[in-house]
């Protein structure tokens, strides 16, 4: 077989972790889910050829994260006001994850737009955005690395995000109907 587990791990670990963490909001849980999912997809790859790997891995991660979130609901304290909001917040996370479709995320058109937009950004902005979004570094660490303040990092990230938003405007607000159906 051409690819080794090591290659799969190196290519997908970081992405998987950042993706899962953004839904489960817990580093340790995210690590567990990613580790299990990577083993799972590796087992599948031994049986049949899987190409591309991304979308299938995405679905495996999504299902594992959903399982986790659905269990979380029960544990939360519903008696306090903040508890109510937290339950609602969890609900929102579950529905966004449910509606999250690999077909939209893995479109090659989008990949091109992202590349183009990133290369049009000022170098510093792009670098900070990549450190945060793709390397998952905390703001404080990036600020230290770049020798600027955390507020400065906020600014560069917000700039990159708004540029990407404009560039991807045709692809983004697709899920809106879902929330009014709730």
Partner 1 sequence: MNKELLLRYISGDATGEEKAEVAKWLDADAGNMHEFMALRKLHDITVWQYEPQKEQNKKVNFRIGKLSRRKVITEVLKVAAVFILAFILFKHFDNAGSEYASTQTLYVPSGQRALLTLPDSSKVWLNANTTFTFPNHFSPESREVTLEGEGYFDVAHNVSHPFVVKTGGYNVKVLGTEFNVLAYPGNPEFEVSVLDGLVEVIESKGEKGKLIKPGQKIVIEKNQFQVASIEHTAYFLWKDGIISFDDEAFTEMVRKLELYFDLKINVKNDKILTYRCTGKFRTKDGVEHILKVLQLSNRFEYTIDDKLNIITIE
Contact positions toward partner 1, by CB under 8 A?
15, 18-19, 21-26, 30, 54, 58, 82, 85-86, 88-89, 92, 96, 100, 104-106, 110-111, 114, 123-124, 127, 130, 132-134, 138, 144-148, 154, 157-158, 161, 164-165, 168, 171-176, 179-180
Q: How far is the CB of 9 from partner 1 (least distance, A)?
A: 15
Nearer to partner 1, 46 or 73 (CB): 73
Contacts of 162 (CB under 8 A, 6+ apart): none
Contact between 43 and 25 (Cβ < 8 Å): no
Q: How far is the CB of 25 from partner 1 (least distance, A)?
A: 4
**How many Å apart are CA 65 and CA 29, to the nearest integer?**
9
Nearer to partner 1, 47 or 151 (CB): 151
Contact between 27 and 48 (Cβ < 8 Å): no
Nearer to partner 1, 45 or 146 (CB): 146
Q: How far is the CB of 81 from partner 1 (least distance, A)?
A: 8
Backbone angles phi, psi at 134, to 5 degrees: -105, -25
DSSP H helices in 48-175: 54-75, 81-98, 102-105, 108-120, 123-133, 139-146, 150-167
Nearer to partner 1, 46 or 158 (CB): 158
């Amino acid at each position: 077989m051409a690819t080794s587990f090591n290659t799969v791990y190196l290519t997908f670990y970081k992405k998987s972790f950042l993706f899962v963490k953004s839904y489960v909001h817990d580093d340790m849980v995210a690590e567990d889910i990613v580790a299990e999912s990577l083993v799972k997809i590796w087992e599948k790859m031994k049986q049949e050829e899987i190409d591309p790997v991304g979308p299938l891995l995405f679905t495996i991660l999504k299902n594992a994260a959903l399982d986790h979130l659905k269990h979380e609901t029960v544990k939360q304290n519903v008696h306090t006001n903040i508890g109510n909001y937290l339950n609602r917040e969890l609900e929102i996370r579950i529905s966004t994850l449910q509606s999250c479709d690999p077909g939209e995320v893995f479109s090659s058109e989008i990949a091109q737009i992202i590349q183009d937009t990133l290369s049009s950004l000022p170098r510093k902005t792009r670098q900070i955005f990549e450190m945060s979004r793709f390397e998952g570094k905390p703001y404080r660490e990036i600020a230290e690395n770049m020798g600027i303040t955390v507020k400065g990092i906020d600014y560069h990230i917000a700039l990159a995000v708004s540029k990407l938003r404009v560039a991807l405007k045709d692809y983004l607000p697709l899920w809106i109907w879902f929330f009014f159906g709730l």
